[in-house]
């Protein structure tokens, strides 16, 4: 079975390390805040100017003025800091973000990513994605493995306008965990109940499978 959005976020949360400064993009990445392991401390950064983002608020905690970059209400963790977006982007561009987690329309086998626009479709703007993929030390992408029409999103070369070139290190899809290196996707894990053959059939780019591929563990 393909993973739910929450399960994808849970798997990404396993990539967090103690002391990390992490930016979470709009969509599935924001859910990662709910699954940070109890034994580590990370500081979650939102590019609109919040360092120390907490979990989504309960009804009692809800504050309409406390929002993330996706305009969703959030909470502030202990030790959080609030600042203007110029300082936020100085942090990003200065290389002070250890990990960025963001969604994408396409990723290719060289780690290039297309995430900000589809031609002829209305967009609000590119946001901070280009700064994030250029400035963060590590990039993890969350996405569905294929489109709703069954077309692969893991390609030999991206067809949409690029957000960043040769920058993505790892991808967590609803079917698999893959690492990008040496011009290929390397299959690391598969979703419970998903076969390697299904992943191969839905990956258009070069995919390397080495030995037995374990199922993800949550």
Q: What residues act catalytically?
A: 47
Query: Are 45 and 95 spatial neighbours (Cβ–Cβ below 8 Å)?
Result: no
Report the C-alpha gap between 185 and 178 in whole angstroms.
6
Q: For residue 87, give the H/E element and its range.
A: helix 85-93
SS3 call for 53: strand
Q: 154-155 and 106-108: which strand pairing?
A: parallel
CA 186 to chain centre: 18
SS3 call for 22: strand
Query: Are 44 and 33 spatial neighbours (Cβ–Cβ below 8 Å)?
Result: yes
Query: Are 208 and 187 spatial neighbours (Cβ–Cβ below 8 Å)?
Result: yes
């Amino acid at each position: 079975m393909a993973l739910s959005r929450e399960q994808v976020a849970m798997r990404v949360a396993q990539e967090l390390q103690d002391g990390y400064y992490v930016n979470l993009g709009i969509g599935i990445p924001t859910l990662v805040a709910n699954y940070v392991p109890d034994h580590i401390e990370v500081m979650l950064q939102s590019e609109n100017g919040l360092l120390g983002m907490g979990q989504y608020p309960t009804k009692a905690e809800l504050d309409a003025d406390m929002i993330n970059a996706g305009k969703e209400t959030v909470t502030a963790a202990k030790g959080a800091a609030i600042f203007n977006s110029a300082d936020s982007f100085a942090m990003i561009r200065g290389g002070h973000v250890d990990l960025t987690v963001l969604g994408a329309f396409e990723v290719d086998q060289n780690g290039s990513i297309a995430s900000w626009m589809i031609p002829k479709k209305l967009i609000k703007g590119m946001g901070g994605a280009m700064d994030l993929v250029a400035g963060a030390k590590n990039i993890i992408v969350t996405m569905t493995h294929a489109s709703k029409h069954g077309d692969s999103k893991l390609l030999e070369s991206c067809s949409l306008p690029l957000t960043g070139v040769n920058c993505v290190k790892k991808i967590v899809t609803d079917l698999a965990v893959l690492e990008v290196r040496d011009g290929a996707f390397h299959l690391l894990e598969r979703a419970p109940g998903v076969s390697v053959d299904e992943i191969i059939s839905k990956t258009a780019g070069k995919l390397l499978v080495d030995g037995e591929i374990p199922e993800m563990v949550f």
